[in-house]
Structure formats: structure tokens, C-alpha cells
Chains A and B, each alone.
Chain A
Amino acid sequence: MTSVIGSDGLQDEFPTGMRMKLESARELKAKLVEGLVAPFTQKAASNGGLAMAARAMTTASSVQRSIALGVAPPRGGQFRLAVRVQRQALLSGPLMEKIVRQARGEVEVRMVGRLDKRALPWYRKPVRPLLPGGSCGHVEITSGTIGAFCERGGKVCVLSNNHVLANEDFGKVGDRIVQPGPSDGGRPTDDRIGHLSHWVRFRKSKPNFLDCALAEVDDGIDFDPVKLRGLVDGKNTKLKGLGPEVVDAGDVVYKLGRMTGATKGRVTAFDVDNLVVNYDTANLRFDNQIEIESAGKKPFSDGGDSGSLIVNARMEAVGLLFCGGEMGGAHKLGLTYANPIHEVLGSLKAKLLT
């Protein structure tokens, strides 16, 4: 193939009149990135040639938004160079002209603007003081949720599930608990908030009633037991204490969880027996559970929300979320199940802190 060196030093390997094959498109893309776009991107950053709001240097990037190149899907059997522009000013100008010329006009240009890494919600990040709804977990699990704060034997404890704090009975008293949970970046030493202290063990051959555990909070770790951050319509509310011992079908409930954040639901059933739940170790049967459907446009809960406190419309605790499925419920968004909170606290000999 005849190669032509352009004025910008790039080889023109795509003569006019020839259909651009996938391999040619890839080669052209690689050459343009190396020869034109990458140098421009770095140069713009080093001489301050592009607008950037004032902020600390430590947060400023050494790479500026410019143009990204790829290969666009074929149209009529012909591939094109995909040109994604991240600044309005670059839609026209010498850089774009060179790219279009090199590709003989076979380009698909789109303005994509600023592309940000999706910001992590507060409940998946380190949170001090500790708050209900924040990510947490035993050092050997992924992540669950801080449901509430309790007192037992004069010690402050985090309330969550056995499978969040006690690793499905594999944990031992004294095991480290981290916030955020390990899958959210929680490190065994730096993010330690306490240790596993009490839990209700699972039974494989008899019905279970509870999936709950306590972790004693280390001295010096601050916590706020009542703040329910952004729970109702994005506004903060306060946990008011314990709700009635019985919930009723149709009751409105809310939860704050590490995966789906603040959600609103409705009790669809209570006294649910013979509920079979898939765990890592076995399928376990549960009796006397509360069933909840979403009252919004997204599921009431998802993986990682385990351990969330369920509160009623008066902001009183009624349940401890532990499992769910993807079928059934309003708009087929799935169903969530919770242990009644009075049974949880009674079995753990714990008092809810408010």
C-alpha cells in the first residue's frame, strides 16, 4: 500500500475511493490517537489553554477533555471513524479538520461533553459519624448495611444481619467489622469500626425466625443513631423509636440501604411462614416474616441492602431487612422480606438507641 505522509507527519493509508475496512479503521484510529489527539490533550493541559474552574491543584487533572476516537459500526458495509468530542470548541478547528481529512470524511462525529466517573452515593463511602443505612460488613464478606444502633450490656452496638456481621455463622466473636464494607473499599485496619459480638445462629433442619447480629462499636468511633439521611423525599428524618409489635398489610414503610439507598414500600403480607431463602451454605426456611413490595419506580431493595432497618410512616422501627427476590410485587419489581424488629431485639437482648 502506498503511504502518503501528510503535513502533520501522519501517514495517509486510506486513499480516496476505497471502502474503509475494519482493520483500516482500527489502524487509522491508532495513528490519529498517537500522532494527533494524545499530544493535543497533554499540551492543552500543560499550558492551561483550556478553561478550567478554580480548584485545588491536588484535585486538578493533568489530562484535559478533548477528542476520543474509536471505530463506528458499519453502515452499508463500511466502517467509519467514531469521533467523540468532549468540548464544544473542538467541533471545528484545526484538530478536527486534520482528523476528518485523514479519514477522508468517513467519520461519525458526536458531541459527548464531560464524562464523569459516576459519583458514589454517601452510603457506600466512609461515613463518620456512623449512620443507619451506611455500608458495613464483616471483613470477609462483600458489604451489607448498618440497620440501627443498639445498647447491650452497656455497650453500643451496630445492628445488622448474621450474614452481614457474622458471615453466615463462619465469624467468631471479636472478628473485625468495617465501614464501608469490604466490597466498598473498607480496609481491615483503617476502616475498622468494631467487632462481632452477638448473633443468632442459623438452623438447617428447623425453621429460622431471625437473621440478625450485633457488633460492638469501638471506643472513639462516633455515631448518630437517629439521623435517617435523605429517607423521605430526599429529606433527612429522625428515627422515633420502636413501632408496634404487629404490622398490617398495606402499611407504608421506608428503608435506607447500602445498595438502593432510600426507598419507600408497602407491606404486602405478614406472618409469612415456610419462606425458603437461598444462602451460600444452604437453603434455609424462615417463619413469621414481613413481606414488602416497592411503592416507587425501583425495587424496594437489592443485594447489599441486607441489614437495613425498616421504619413505618411514623419513623418507628418495624423490621430488619434480610432477603428478597426479583419477581412479584407491584410492577413486578420484586419482593423484600424482613424480620419483625421486636423479635430481633428480644433475641439479641438489645435496646434500640434513639
Chain B
Amino acid sequence: MSPRITLHKARAAKAAVLKAFRRLPNLGGVGITKVAGGYAVKINLREPMPKGAQLPGEIEGVPVTIEVTGVIRKQ
């Protein structure tokens, strides 16, 4: 079983995700979440990825979760 990802490591992976995908037109946000007790990177999408395009499930050894959140509006 792989060791739990620390917050420090997850933050480094988040920075790498932002650098790599900042220009993704449907990117809705990138944050830190938890998966199975360890930290992970969460990528939010305003729209699903186009057919054939895929985001990595892991970056720098840190799990990546992806969620389609749609449009976010002031409330």
C-alpha cells in the first residue's frame, strides 16, 4: 500500500497541474482534496472534456480527482 500523500506534496502537485492546464478552456478550478485519508489534487471542469481528450489520474505521484462542476455563479 502506497504511503498517504502529505499536504506539502499535494500542494506541489497542484502547482504542477495549474502550470500544465491553466489554459484549458473548460478549467473551473484546481484545489486540494482528500482521497482515502491522504491528500489529492481536485480538478474542476466547467464542461466535460472533449471526446478523446483526457486528464491524468495522477501527477507527481499524487492522485488527481476530476469533477464537472458546471458554471459557478454569484449567489
Contact check, A275 vs B75: say whether CB atoms are below 8 A apart.
no
Contact check, A276 vs B75: say whether CB atoms are below 8 A apart.
no
Contact check, B75 vs A269: say whether CB atoms are below 8 A apart.
no
**Also in contact, A325 and B72, with CB within 8 A (given A269-B42, A271-B11):** yes
Question: Which residues from 17 to 66 on chain B have a C-beta closer than 8 Å to any C-beta of chain A?
Answer: 18, 22, 27-34, 39, 42, 44, 46
Contact check, A327 vs B68: say whether CB atoms are below 8 A apart.
yes
Contact check, B34 vs A271: say whether CB atoms are below 8 A apart.
no
Bound together, the chains give a CA A321 to CA B72 distance in angstroms of 13
Contact check, A275 vs B72: say whether CB atoms are below 8 A apart.
yes
A interface residues, tally (CB under 8 Å): 39
Give A294-331 as 1s and 0s: 1 = Cβ < 8 Å from B's Cβ atoms.
00000001111110000000000000011111111000
Contact check, A328 vs B33: say whether CB atoms are below 8 A apart.
no
Contact check, B72 vs A270: say whether CB atoms are below 8 A apart.
no
- Classify the interface of chain B: helix, strand, loop or mixed: strand
| CB nearest neighbor in A for B65 | A269
Contact check, B69 vs A328: say whether CB atoms are below 8 A apart.
yes
B interface residues, tally (CB under 8 Å): 25
Contact check, A275 vs B28: say whether CB atoms are below 8 A apart.
yes
**Also in contact, A327 and B69, with CB within 8 A (given A250-B34, A303-B75):** yes
Give A278-296 as 1s and 0s: 1 = Cβ < 8 Å from B's Cβ atoms.
1110000000010100000
Q: Which residues of B contact A303 (CB under 8 A)?
A: 73, 75
Q: Which residues of A contact B42 (CB under 8 A)?
A: 268-269, 272, 291
Contact check, A271 vs B14: say whether CB atoms are below 8 A apart.
yes
| CB nearest neighbor in B for A290 | B31
List the 8 closest pairs (A to B, CB-CB), nearest first.
Answer: A272-B31, A327-B70, A269-B31, A249-B34, A275-B29, A328-B69, A306-B75, A325-B72
| Chain B residues packing against A (C-beta within 8 Å) | 11, 14, 18, 22, 27-34, 39, 42, 44, 46, 67-75
